[in-house]
Amino acid sequence: MVGSGEIIVNDIRKIFKKGKPDEVRAVDGIGFTINKGELFGLLGPNGAGKTTLIKCISTLLIPDSGSVTVGGYDIYREPLEVRRHIGVLTGGERSLYWKLTPVENLRYFAALYGVSRKVTKERITYLLELMGLVDKSNVRVEKLSSGMKQKLSLARVLIHDPPVLLVDEPTLGLDPYFARFIRDFVKNELNKKLKKTILLTTHYMDEADELCERIAFMNRGKIEALDTPDRLKQSMPQKQVLEIKCQGTIEKDMFETIDGAAGINISHGEGFVFLRWNTDNPELILGNIIELVREKAKIYSVRVTTPTLEDVFVHLTGASLKDA
Ligand SMILES: Nc1ncnc2c1ncn2[C@@H]1O[C@H](COP(=O)(O)OP(=O)(O)OP(=O)(O)O)[C@@H](O)[C@H]1O
Ligand SMILES: [Mg+2]
């Protein structure tokens, strides 16, 4: 055993196309420790390096330098033990055999991990029950709905009962109902009840905020900040946010002439433009801002709120999680 954390990442680097003009420093000197039983979030925009980091931890990619241990096992010297210790769930690719039934799929993956017959039988019963798939036990996977297939993928990841789960963008592209199921399942069942140590990546700040005990902000291969969601938000120098919801064409530099309103975050969603300013005195800038926005856009609402993780990220990196 090395150290006391369940996942210990020490100064790892992974550079693609090294030395070429289009070199990518996907993971650029990252270190952190995830404690046993912790639900830890890695939050960052597209291309931040989240998946590359997960692949390094799960032994699918070999880092260029640095060290990683999972449950005390070293990814270079003990890759098989590391693999047995973890389950990797990715939102995108699903590896199930479509011509086989759920029971046959789970038996196959249990055998791959060397789970005994008796334990396999118990786990399959338990997992199919947990996922509400008992009445589909012997139906070919190709005949299941996509939600059922996703639940079966989840069961597959759990078949060898790994203490550590690496969960990469679990709700990407899911409908809101199923996204809610997955979030609740990860938090309540896997983390709270089954005491799994979980590393979750996402670029949904609400998801990270809701689920994770601690969050690392990742951007361009580096960690920009690491703390609890609350402490990250409290770290903002300005404690309030002025938000205007409007429709129209708004440019960042429109507000440069207004004192205290230069730092603006513009994001888009549901056909609206959201303008946000971090400020201590919303009332001081409000009048001037509204005048300018009115010339270019139709205003739907104006409100003062508190900083979100998105605001913290923009403050730290200048980039938006949403628009990146
Ligand atoms: N096999 C590869 N060869 C070359 N470049 C790669 C390879 N895999 C990833 N990259 C690059 O490394 C960077 C980090 O990619 P990565 O997939 O880790 O980001 P991510 O944070 O998971 O992004 P997303 O939120 O889109 O999933 C990107 O610039 C990507 O293009
Ligand atoms: Mg990714």
Torsion of CA 196, 201, 206, 208, to 10 degrees: 40
Q: What is the pLDDT of residues 25-73, one digit of tens each?
A: 999 999 999 999 999 999 998 999 999 999 999 999 999 999 999 999 9
d(CA 104, CA 110): 10
Q: Which residue, 173, 206, 228, sits at the end of a domain?
A: 228
**Distance from Cα 273 to the centre of ligand 1, integer Å:** 28
N-term to C-term CA, the chain: 39
**Distance from Cα 224 to the centre of ligand 1, integer Å:** 18
Domain limits for position 301: 237-306
Show the ligand 1 pocket: residues with CB < 6 angstroms: 16-17, 24, 26, 44, 46-52, 203
C-alpha closest to that of 230 among 209, 261, 211, 216:
209
The answer to whether position 181 is within a domain reads: yes
Q: Is 38:54 a contact under the CB 8 Å cutoff?
A: no
Q: Which residues have their alpha-adjacent CB atom under 5 A from ion ligand 2? A: 50-51
Both tokens of residue 307?
């900083």
Which of 46, 60, 205, 217 has most ligand 1 atoms within 8 Å of its beta carbon, as the pocket-test mutant?
46
Instruction: Return the pLDDT at 276.
Output: 93
Which of 13, 15, 16 has most ligand 1 atoms within 8 Å of its beta carbon, as the pocket-test mutant?
16
Q: Does one domain contain both 86 and 16?
A: yes
Least distant ligand from the CA of 23: 1
Which strands make up the sheet holding 297-305, listed edge to edge? 264-269, 272-279, 240-248, 297-305
Q: Does one domain contain both 196 and 273?
A: no
CA 53 to ligand 1: nearest atom? 18
Q: What is the residue type of 229?
A: P
The CATH number covering residue 138 comes to 3.40.50.300
Q: Which residue, 228, 245, 280, sits at the end of a domain?
A: 228
**Distance from Cα 63 to the centre of ligand 2, integer Å:** 16
The answer to whether position 13 is within a domain reads: yes
Nearest CA to ligand 1 atom 28: 47
Least distant ligand from the CA of 47: 1
Q: How many domains does the chain have?
A: 2
Both tokens of residue 291?
């005048």
Low-confidence ranges of the chain (pLDDT < 50): 1-3, 93, 324
CA 52 to ligand 1: nearest atom? 18
Q: Which residue, 204, 228, 252, sits at the end of a domain?
A: 228
Radius of gyration, alpha carbons of the chain: 23
Q: Does one domain contain both 189 and 248?
A: no
Which of 18, 30, 52, 56 has most ligand 1 atoms within 8 Å of its beta carbon, as the pocket-test mutant?
52
Q: What is the pLDDT of residues 3-19, one digit of tens each?
A: 479 999 999 999 999 99
Instruction: Return the pLDDT at 252.
Output: 86
Least distant ligand from the CA of 322: 1
d(CA 311, CA 320): 8
